[in-house]
Amino acid sequence: MFKTGYISFITETGGGFDSNMNPISSTKVNSIYYPCNLSTDTKGYKFIQDGLYVDASYSIYIDALDITIESKVQLRDNHENDLGVFLVQNKEFLDITKRIKIIV
């Protein structure tokens, strides 16, 4: 696989209420960064009041490891630049290549 980026899966645990019925915040934990093939599907720029907002969609191909794909992922490009946190829109196992395709 040609590595063009990195993906980390975000797991959210905890939360709820304590014995006095006060809310307890959940904790978010990132997995290690796995090398992946990252390609940009769409990328657009929108101007909002405080600056520039990037609206992007990516396709990620990752080797079929023993991993649990969560609903949120964090992406980095090949130069370790942070691309942001994204919600997983679709995931599928590709039989021929034995890889997982994730669309965010």
Taking residues 58-77, report their average pLDDT: 85
Separation between Cα atoms, residue 70 and residue 75, nearest integer Å: 13
Taking residues 39-51, report their average pLDDT: 69
From residue 78, alpha-carbon distances to 2, 18, 82 in Å are 11, 43, 10
- Secondary structure (3-state) at 78: coil
At 65 the pLDDT is 75
At 44 the pLDDT is 67
pLDDT band at 73 (very low <50, low <70, confident <90, very high): very high
Q: What is the mean pLDDT of the chain?
A: 84
pLDDT band at 51 (very low <50, low <70, confident <90, very high): low
Pick from 61, 68, 70: nearest CA to 98: 61
- 6 pLDDT more than 80: yes
Separation between Cα atoms, residue 79 and residue 18, nearest integer Å: 43
Where is average pLDDT lowest: 23-32, 40-49, 75-84, 88-97?
40-49
